[in-house]
Amino acid sequence: MKRLGMMTFHNKTNIKSFVYRNAINLCIINNHLKYYHKCLYNFQLEDIANVNNVSIQTENINSKWIKLQRMNYKQNGIPKSWDMAFVQDSVACLIYQKDKKCFYFVKQFRPAVYARQLREKALFEGLKLSEKEIHKIGVEKEEEKQLSPLELNLKLEEKVKELPKPKLSIELCAGISDKLNKSPIETIQAELEEECGYRVPIDKIELINSYYNGTGITASVQHLYYLELNNEEEKEWKVSEGGGLIEEGEFLERIEVPLSKIVDTIHDKSLVIPNTLCYGVTWWFLEKATNEERTKYYFKKN
């Protein structure tokens, strides 16, 4: 039996349920955001990949984040059109802990990656259903009429087991530039605290490059930064467990990848590794690594 404030719980599951439902309100009322965020972070790590009740909508979508557009134009007198998606610019940061000789990344569930998994398993089309229909996945209408409620539930359970376990994406600390009146470097400074728990002085954050993403579809700009810290700085800057913002429903896990394993990690086809991470790590070996580190870990023999 465990106590949390004035509440008594008999097992971890009850505590977890309580924290998920009440963390935000308790934080506001008691002004203990940091404490409750730490509680939630401890539970969320085992639940990042706990995804269910999946349905996919393909029509009548009004998105806050993505706006579809079509440009009509003439090129050398030839009429053409091109479909585009307007998205906001973004920021990202490569983090290296030089005393530990490791990189810090974040691991999280990405719906777009999971949708690809479903397409690859030929389940995508079956999930384009309303919530009322979702329980009938894989059950033909004629078959449904012949099944008892118990048999239908068993059929559902069999189908749910077919859904693949989500692959979690390993990424740089990052975010979109949606914070009002914040420059890109101020935005990544905020993301470092939200996702990784570090309140970093802005002069410690180094700009690597700014570049276009997806020139064929979005042409959004990403600003890539670099943060290097040692044991003393990590202890000084650490203000929370990170893990994302509770109020925005973020579930992130900060992970460490040793320098000795970083090249194997970015070449591991079983992992979801975005191109920004690959670029950042390659830049690090070119610009920050010693000749010994470059030879030993980047150009190593298989």
Rounded Cα distance, 108 and 255, in Å: 10
Contact 91, 225 (CB under 8 A): yes
Q: For 11-35, what is each residue's pLDDT tens digit?
A: 333 333 333 333 333 333 333 333 3
Q: For 194-247, what is each residue's pLDDT tens digit?
A: 999 999 999 999 999 999 998 999 999 999 999 999 999 999 999 988 877 666
Alpha helices, DSSP H, located in 121-261: 141-146, 149-162, 184-191, 231-237
Closest among 172, 282, 171 to 227, alpha carbons compared: 172
- Residue 169 CB partners (closer than 8 Å, separation 6+): 107, 108, 109, 110, 113, 272, 273, 274
Q: Is the pTM of this model over 0.85?
A: no
pLDDT at 223: 98
Which of the pair, 180 or 10, is modelled with greater confidence? 180
Contact 178, 88 (CB under 8 A): yes
- Residue 216 CB partners (closer than 8 Å, separation 6+): none
Taking phi first (over 0 means left), then psi (-120 to 50 degrees means alpha), and beta for anything else, what does residue 220 get? beta
